[in-house]
Amino acid sequence: MPEHLISTDDFCSHYKVEYSFINSLQQHGLIEITSIDQHSFIDHDHLKNIEKLVRLHYDLDINLEGIEAITYLLNRVKNMQAEIIALKNRLRLYEDKQVSDTF
């Protein structure tokens, strides 16, 4: 087993969540689970995201449909922020070029 994978059983027991919840997250396309020899694993790189989803469900009592909507909106905001940064950088290049053309 690769080091970057965490057993879903270990995850569920550590975070005190039901495996059915993790399975539902996968079925809704919110997380990826890797299967090796009939055992399921979570990639360590996705742990932070899964922890967030667990908190939304167990701490805030948000159902899977709500989690899907929140995840979609957060991804849109993240993409829009990246686009704003790219546009600001392009604008800055244009403004810098305009200033250098005047000298």
In tens, the pLDDT along 59-95 reads: 999 999 999 999 999 999 999 999 999 999 999 988 8
Range of the domain at 14: 5-102
- C-alpha span between 36 and 42 (Å, rounded): 11
Residue labelled with tokens 């975070």: 15
Q: Which residues of 69-98 are buried (b: 16+ CB within 10 A; e: fewer)?
A: eebeeeeeeeeeeeeeeeeeeeeeeeeeee
Say what the pTM is: 0.78
DSSP H/E element including 42: strand 39-43
Give me the CATH number covering residue 10: 1.10.1660.10
Percent of the chain past pLDDT 90, that is, above it, reads: 83
| pLDDT value, residue 96 | 80
Q: Give me the number of domains the chain comprises.
A: 1
CA angle, 58 then 50 then 30, to 5°: 100
Structure tokens belonging to residue 93: 């290049």
